[in-house]
Structure 1
């Protein structure tokens, strides 16, 4: 048992005015407080949440009449136990509407009335909802981080496998990491919803010189794709751009590359998204196997498998054409 006092007060402070200000502060705080004597008779109730029944003027309030049968019975049992042990008790209660309340029940001492029961009730609903949302987000971040790390590990090992020397490995791996980072930026800015194709393409183009960006043209439907598709389609676009810059002649010819997106309903209930890359070329020779290697692996195997789609990578005398079709929600 203990007495409560202010942290500091002037000796000449008017007690009635002090009580008025403290009462005002209590009302503004939204915290519910109740005081009962040793017979469980209520002396006052402040800030009672609307979920419970406010006491009428005729009958004296009781735990059962205010809080209902289940919670009222629990509170009465807790208060009896406190009188026996002298130890404060606290618990949380979730009502039928899903609101969460924290109860703190303890003994206080009054010179005139002796031992009394002081109860404070805090509405923790918003706090618990924020905690739940945060836990969900942390799990999602953990899941996506593991997926991203697996992608990075795969890219690193495959890049090392096909790189002829350390310098080439560093250059290629840095570009692919940058592609993943740019895709993640798109995902973050949409609150993990994914990214639009046009925005994804523009972000990937930021890695390359301005003259390259001016020659790449987006056409068709600017579809919002999932986070998984954003990462992998972004990686495919990076590979196509890298190959075009390193081995193509579209810049020298001032010829435009067209990236087309088309959404169509096929047999399944989920629409199919087809993304097509058409890169003009005047050279007659095909890229060597050394040029294709891992870039081709990404475009023809890694990305299609990741988005449950199919891809076609073809070379002709006048253009390089890459097409990938996948479920729009992949």
Structure 2
């Protein structure tokens, strides 16, 4: 097959046919198309390869960006948690540094521990509590009620608490209900009856600088596997702060107790010095009066000696009772018993004492004691105690009033010699009337009845006389 064309020669009616084979016409085009097509195909394949590589790179970059975003978010969350934990630790540390009350220290530490550990409940077993049998008291449980822990065995009686309280170990359990190491005591089995208050469990000891245990921080959650190593690390740091704060609190309490004891001792010393000064002055005045009165009534040296020694012994006995008493008082009943017990018989019916327990202050004990001695001596020489069948009845009553305690003491003798009105007033009568009236503003009445002496003493104990109720 040929391809040709006619061409006119000038204006002549002459045409020339020019032709060529069809292959000669098309082959160059085909060769060019093949050449350019090859290059185009190669370029297209290269483009496709580059596009695929670019897509793969884009996907890798997108994945890396997503991973980086996720890591940044995780790191940001961790940083926020660490920042929050540091804020809690700093805030708690600041609070503990200025706190010296043990109860507030414990409450602050437990509250902070619940936040740091992510616990639902927290508690503190506090050592050194004398009210508990094992010396530990469950203290502060934010997030739970006391009833939630009612079934737990106390302190060292529970296997869950022994490693921490007794051995100072840190315990972390993902599920306390399935942990064979801390099986609960009978009859509760693994857990107390009812819903389990905790499954995740962590206990951290609080140890003082001397190595002694302050107790343990306990944390729990109803879900399993809550507490991590990070939580354990944070709570250990908190426990160290708590130990320092509790040490300081105990030192403060000990210092306050010592200051109070010293102040009390100083006050007691001042009181004793004032009391001693007052008592020595009164004693010397009493001795001087006894010497003068005894000398005026005695007819011989022997009589003077006997009367004077007896009165001094009575005075010494009263002072002995005052010295033995914690509050510098003397029991009225003991004063009477010391004077009258030597004259009692085997039946105990010769001397009858009846009245409530009364503690006489020193300014009342000395004159009343001397008066009882004089009444006893007079009864032994001339009255009911001078014969075997004589009896002495002493009765006293007390009644509070606006000025203090009104004391009325009655002395009654029966069964002795017939009593006659004395011709002159002896020392005993003068003591009863003058000394009691002067020192106590007492009212004294003496009736020399034929059946026996009847005397009564009424006085107001202006300073606090301690009156015990009758048994």
Q: Does TM, normalized by the shorter one, top 0.5? A: yes
Are 1:280 and 2:425 matched, yes or no? Answer: no
CA deviation profile, 1:263-306 (whole Å, cap 9, x unmatched): 1356x45331100000114544515335x411110112212321
**1:167 matched residue in structure 2:** 302
Are 1:255 and 2:390 matched, yes or no? Answer: yes
Check whether the contact 1:211–1:251 (CA below 8 A) recurs between aligned residues: no
**2:356 matched residue in structure 1:** 221
**1:88 matched residue in structure 2:** none
**2:405 matched residue in structure 1:** 271
CA distance in 1, matches of 2:316, 2:279: 13
Check whether the contact 1:281–1:317 (CA below 8 A) recurs between aligned residues: no
CA deviation profile, 1:38-87 (whole Å, cap 9, x unmatched): xxxxxxxxxxx959xxxxxxxxxxxxxxxxxxxxxxxxxxxxxxxxxxxx
**1:321 matched residue in structure 2:** 454
CA distance in 1, matches of 2:349, 2:316: 22
Cα 1:186–1:299, aligned 2, differ >3 Å: closer, same or farther? same
Deviates more, 1:124-133 or 1:194-203: 124-133
Alignment of 1:102-141 (within 5 A): 130-131=265-266, 133-141=268-276
Which runs of 5 or more residues in structure 1 are unaligned? 1-26, 29-48, 52-96, 101-122
Match of 2:278 among 132, 140, 143: 143
Check whether the contact 2:356–2:397 (CA below 8 A) recurs between aligned residues: yes
CA distance in 2, matches of 1:284, 1:136: 49
CA distance in 2, matches of 1:131, 1:220: 36
Which runs of 5 or more residues in structure 2 are unaligned? 1-209, 212-246, 464-471
Q: Count residues with an aligned counterpart.
A: 218
Are 1:289 and 2:423 matched, yes or no? Answer: yes
CA distance in 2, matches of 1:190, 1:303: 23
CA deviation profile, 1:194-216 (whole Å, cap 9, x unmatched): 1222111012235x445498622
**1:153 matched residue in structure 2:** 288
Cα 1:230–1:126, aligned 2, differ >3 Å: closer, same or farther? closer
CA distance in 2, matches of 1:277, 1:304: 17
Match of 1:230 among 349, 360, 365: 365
Check whether the contact 1:215–1:251 (CA below 8 A) recurs between aligned residues: no
Check whether the contact 1:304–1:310 (CA below 8 A) recurs between aligned residues: yes
With CA pairs under 8 Å and 6+ residues apart, which has the higher RCO, 1 or 2?
1
**TM-score, normalization by structure 2:** 0.41
CA distance in 1, matches of 2:270, 2:328: 18
CA distance in 1, matches of 2:259, 2:276: 25
Deviation at 1:153? Answer: 1.2
Are 1:239 and 2:358 matched, yes or no? Answer: no
Are 1:197 and 2:332 matched, yes or no? Answer: yes
- Secondary structure of 2:455's counterpart equals strand
- Secondary structure of 2:447's counterpart equals strand
Cα 1:258–1:139, aligned 2, differ >3 Å: closer, same or farther? same
RMSD: 3.3
- Secondary structure of 2:326's counterpart equals coil
CA distance in 2, matches of 1:251, 1:214: 16
Deviation at 1:162? Answer: 1.6
**2:440 matched residue in structure 1:** 307
CA distance in 2, matches of 1:178, 1:151: 13
- Secondary structure of 1:164's counterpart equals coil
CA distance in 1, matches of 2:287, 2:416: 35
Check whether the contact 1:193–1:227 (CA below 8 A) recurs between aligned residues: yes
**TM-score, normalization by structure 1:** 0.57
